[in-house]
């Protein structure tokens, strides 16, 4: 299961079912769980933990030191969950002390070719980063979010669950859950209705979220508007998630 040209550190721990292709380099304290496949010429550096049933395609770099001048060799980690597809020439870097020390990628994600996830990013589950999408340090991405090709996110931005980011967008502010954002100076352009339908959100929930988008995301609602939505959120977890995200935004919302 391990090609004769692969170089694997004695510090690494690989499940016997892991498949390692030609010219792969696994360096340092790397842990890889069952049925993960690593294709040719990929480089994985520890400390790094990789779950089961992942497919790491050719020329991927995982666990490299952060591109952060404040990093001085302190202990940090990359954690990757299960069933991810990480495509050719993608890179995911370890964390830094100032960012909590861990870069984390959840499970069931698709990271397309040439995408980059920088230090201390926290990526949820079922996320798609299309080709060459790039996340700067400390970016948080919620479950089921989708980035179009060449979209980029500034440091410390938050992208909510089920959000959709158009290709070539530049994000410098937070994008709330369930919202679509697009543009060279990305702004929120609508609710991700089609994505919500595909994930079986009810028509009533979609209607309520759309009202919230129009009244609290496109424009800053007054206290009376907030009170109305907070009352409605008592019986609607998705709306509560949206309100909590907007309320806790530190960078401001991409309105």
Catalytic status, residue 137: yes
Q: What pLDDT sits at residue 155?
A: 97
Q: What pLDDT sits at residue 131?
A: 98
Q: What pLDDT sits at residue 37?
A: 98
- Residue from 137, 142, 148, 160 carrying the catalytic annotation: 137
- Kind plus residue range of the DSSP H or E element containing 111: strand 110-111
Q: Terminal CA-to-CA distance of the chain, rounded, Å? A: 51
Q: What pLDDT sits at residue 231?
A: 95
Helix (H, G, I), strand (E, B) or coil at 190: strand
- Residue from 120, 143, 174, 182 carrying the catalytic annotation: 120
d(CA 242, CA 232) in angstroms, rounded, equals: 12
Q: What is the pLDDT of residues 51-104, one digit of tens each?
A: 999 999 999 999 999 999 999 999 999 999 999 999 999 999 999 999 999 999
- CATH number 2.40.160.40 is the correct assignment for the domain at 7-138: no
The 8-class DSSP code of residue 181 comes to: E
Q: What pLDDT sits at residue 220?
A: 79
d(CA 108, CA 144) in angstroms, rounded, equals: 10
Q: What pLDDT sits at residue 105?
A: 98
Q: What pLDDT sits at residue 34?
A: 98
- The full set of domain ranges for the chain reads 7-138, 195-247
Helix (H, G, I), strand (E, B) or coil at 204: helix
Q: What pLDDT sits at residue 209?
A: 97
Catalytic status, residue 120: yes
Distances (CA, A) of 115 to 83, 149, 154, 178, 233: 18, 9, 15, 23, 36
* Residues linked to residue 104 through DSSP beta bridges, in sequence order: 79, 122
Which residues, given as ranges, of the chain have pLDDT below 50? none
CB 151 within 8 A of CB 168: yes
Q: What pLDDT sits at residue 222?
A: 82
- Residue from 41, 59, 119, 126 carrying the catalytic annotation: 119
């Amino acid at each position: 299961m391990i090609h004769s040209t692969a170089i694997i550190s004695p510090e690494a721990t690989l499940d016997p079912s892991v498949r390692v292709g030609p010219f792969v380099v696994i360096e340092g304290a790397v842990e890889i769980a069952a049925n993960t496949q690593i294709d040719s010429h990929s480089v994985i550096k520890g400390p790094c933990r990789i779950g089961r049933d992942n497919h790491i395609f050719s020329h991927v770099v995982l666990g490299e030191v952060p591109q952060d001048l404040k990093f001085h060799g302190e202990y940090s980690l990359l954690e990757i969950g299960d069933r991810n597809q990480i495509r050719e020439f993608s890179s995911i870097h370890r964390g830094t002390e100032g960012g909590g020390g861990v870069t984390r990628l959840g499970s069931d994600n698709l990271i397309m070719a040439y995408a980059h996830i920088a230090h201390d990013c926290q990526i949820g589950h079922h996320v798609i980063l299309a080709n060459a999408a790039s996340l700067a340090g400390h970016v948080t991405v919620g479950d089921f979010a989708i980035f179009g090709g060449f979209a980029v996110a500034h440091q410390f931005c938050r992208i909510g669950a089920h959000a959709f980011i158009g290709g070539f967008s530049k994000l410098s502010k937070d994008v709330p859950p369930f919202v679509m954002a697009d543009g060279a100076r990305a702004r929120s352009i609508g609710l991700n209705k089609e994505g919500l339908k595909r994930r079986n959100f009810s028509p009533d929930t979609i209607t309520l979220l759309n009202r919230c988008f129009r009244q609290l995301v496109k424009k800053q609602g007054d206290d009376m508007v907030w009170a109305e939505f907070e009352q409605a959120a008592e019986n609607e977890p998705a709306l509560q998630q949206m309100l909590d995200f907007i309320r806790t935004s530190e960078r401001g919302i991409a309105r």
